[in-house]
Amino acid sequence: MPFHVTIIGAGVAGLTAAHLLQQHNCSITLIEGGNRVGGRTFTRQHERHLEEQGAEFFHPAHHHRLRAALEESGLPAQDLKDLATLWVSAGKGKLGDPVHPEIKALCRHIDTDVALINPHRWITPETAHLDRPFTEYLAKHPASDTVHSEFLAWTGTLTGADPQEFSALGLLRDFKMFGTTEAALTAVEQRIAGGTMQLALSLAKPLMPQIRFETRVVAVHEAVAGFEIITHTDERISADAVIITVPFNTLHQCQFPGLFPALAQASRNRHTNRSRKRWFDPETIFNPRIATDPTSLSYLDVTASAGCIIAADEISGDQAAAHLDLPIAPMASARSHSWQDDPLAAGAWMTIRPGQALVLDDLQRWNIQNPRCQVAGGDVSPIWPGWIEGAIAAGTSAVTRLIQSTTH
């Protein structure tokens, strides 16, 4: 029986789903609002070096799906520069040590809560008490002010958000994905050689004739047989099934059967991550550095010819540079992309607020019960949300559920 699936969004989740569906002999249409594939993997060429405006790092020891996808696409990985990290407090730098005995003790303490987490569920009765602002959660753990602020600085590299705004449960779920808190803070990172967007480009290559660019979906309705997808130009496209992979912060802009009121409200409120990368030409080679303000981080690219600051969108480049004890002058010509202002993303990587895990758990149940109309972006994946690994997991799970539903 011919089976036609429409996939909304040509980021890694949508491309993974499309690739797998073709292997199952389904016909597909991929609808993408922008003029390129990759979504929040977005590599730009600048003179002789590549600048990642979106995703950049992965952890080869933990991200098995991504490693397998790279192997299948023949894409090599690349090590990062091995420099000691400085952590910067009040504009003064000193060497950072994530496994300082006091930090280790704090990690072990947090691990008693990490042990309660079921990685396949956003939230359970056993973990509901962890769904509160991270600063509030951390305050109950015995440690000196210095250790607390150093710990916030390290965890800021994972969350990229304000610890008063994001949920402790979201961060502890991340620790669970790595195994333990210390494993999360010390995991070795790599990049995709030639740029992170290579993965999306490679997945998209055989799918190009099926991708429709610059077409934004505004609604999905149930039809007599299957679904009707409505675009911003009011074009109507029929499909037997739909997989929606748009970012969490934009979900409310698209009407679809699973958009229950609490989900629409949570999406309107956005998750907490407003990170922006600013690439600049450094005056000298510098060590990677993390500020006690957990949203600030800076490092050099692999060629050491470009520097990058990651800080909240609302902080100016100058402020972030001063905070990180870097010269402000190069920031005048910094190159960046505001994910916050990008209507197809409306935020950077998924970092949940208290209360959003409950909504995401309901959405996961919806996906299981409605395999022909799923929401399956990396943001809503209970496995590795906010990571490329999560986008691959989301696309894969959606296809598995859909195919099972067609064979029963």
What stretches of 180-235 show up as alpha helix (H) in DSSP? 181-186, 197-204
Which of 10, 18, 239, 363 lies at the binding interface for ligand FAD (CB under 6 A)? Answer: 10
Q: Which positions from 328 to 367 touch ligand FAD by CB under 6 A, shown as an x/- string?
A: -----------x----xx--xx------------------
Q: For the CB of residue 189, give the shortest distance to ligand FAD in the complex, in Å.
A: 8
What stretches of 300-355 show up as alpha helix (H) in DSSP? 317-323
Which of 32, 51, 113, 293 lies at the binding interface for ligand FAD (CB under 6 A)? Answer: 32
Stretch that binds ligand FAD, among 104-112, 283-291, 362-370, 375-383 (CB under 6 A): 375-383
Please tell me the distance from the alpha carbon of residue 26 to that of residue 5, in angstroms, as a whole number: 7
Q: Interface with ligand FAD includes 391 (CB under 6 A)?
A: yes
Amino acid at 167: S
Q: Interface with ligand FAD includes 258 (CB under 6 A)?
A: no
Q: For the CB of residue 309, give the shortest distance to ligand FAD in the complex, in Å.
A: 12
Amino acid at 314: E
What stretches of 160-214 show up as alpha helix (H) in DSSP? 168-178, 181-186, 197-204
Select 133 or 390, whichever has its Cβ closest to ligand FAD.
390
Stretch that binds ligand FAD, among 8-16, 164-172, 234-242, 290-298 (CB under 6 A): 8-16
Which of 377, 382, 393, 401 lies at the binding interface for ligand FAD (CB under 6 A)? Answer: 377
Stretch that binds ligand FAD, among 33-41, 142-150, 316-324, 361-369 (CB under 6 A): 33-41
Q: Interface with ligand FAD includes 378 (CB under 6 A)?
A: yes
Select 181 or 295, whichever has its Cβ closest to ligand FAD.
295
Q: Interface with ligand FAD includes 5 (CB under 6 A)?
A: no
Please tell me the distance from the alpha carbon of residue 357 to that of residue 255, in angstroms, as a whole number: 21
Please tell me the distance from the alpha carbon of residue 88 to that of residue 240, in angstroms, as a whole number: 54
Which one, of 175, 119, 128, 126, lies nearest residue 382 by Cα? 119
Q: For the CB of residue 388, give the shortest distance to ligand FAD in the complex, in Å.
A: 4
What are the structure tokens assigned to 40, written together? Answer: 């929040």
Please tell me the distance from the alpha carbon of residue 20 to that of residue 278, in angstroms, as a whole number: 35
Could you tell me how far CA 375 lies from the centroid of its own chain? 15
- Footprint of ligand FAD on residues 40-99 (CB under 6 A)? 40-41, 54-58
Residue 10 dihedral angles phi and psi, to the nearest 5°? -110, 45
Give the DSSP H/E element, type plus range, for residue 13.
helix 12-23
Please tell me the distance from the alpha carbon of residue 169 to that of residue 229, in angstroms, as a whole number: 35
Which one, of 354, 350, 351, lies nearest residue 131 by Cα? 354
Select 137 or 227, whichever has its Cβ closest to ligand FAD.
227
Q: Give the pairing of strands 49-52 and 297-300.
A: unpaired
What are the structure tokens assigned to 196, written together? Answer: 């992170």
Long-range contacts, stretch 46-52, CB < 8 angstroms, 24+ apart: 46/279, 46/306, 46/335, 48/303, 48/305, 49/301, 49/303, 49/305, 49/306, 50/194, 50/195, 50/301, 51/277, 51/279, 51/301, 51/306, 51/308, 51/335, 52/191, 52/195, 52/196, 52/277, 52/308
Q: For the CB of residue 43, give the shortest distance to ligand FAD in the complex, in Å.
A: 11
Q: Interface with ligand FAD includes 11 (CB under 6 A)?
A: yes
Which of 166, 227, 286, 387 lies at the binding interface for ligand FAD (CB under 6 A)? Answer: 387
Q: Which positions from 201 to 240 touch ligand FAD by CB under 6 A, shown as an x/- string?
A: ---------------xx-----------------------
Q: For the CB of residue 253, give the shortest distance to ligand FAD in the complex, in Å.
A: 6
Q: For the CB of residue 250, give the shortest distance to ligand FAD in the complex, in Å.
A: 5
Please tell me the distance from the alpha carbon of residue 123 to that of residue 170, in angstroms, as a whole number: 9
- Footprint of ligand FAD on residues 100-139 (CB under 6 A)? none
Q: For the CB of residue 387, give the shortest distance to ligand FAD in the complex, in Å.
A: 4
- Footprint of ligand FAD on residues 262-301 (CB under 6 A)? 275, 277
Q: Interface with ligand FAD includes 178 (CB under 6 A)?
A: no
Q: Interface with ligand FAD includes 245 (CB under 6 A)?
A: yes
**What is the residue-wise DSSP string for 127-150?**
TGGG-SBHHHHHHTS---HHHHHH
Q: Interface with ligand FAD includes 174 (CB under 6 A)?
A: no
Q: Which residues bind ligand FAD (CB under 6 A)?
A: 8-14, 31-34, 39-41, 54-58, 216-217, 245-247, 250, 254, 275, 277, 339, 344-345, 348-349, 377-379, 386-388, 390-391
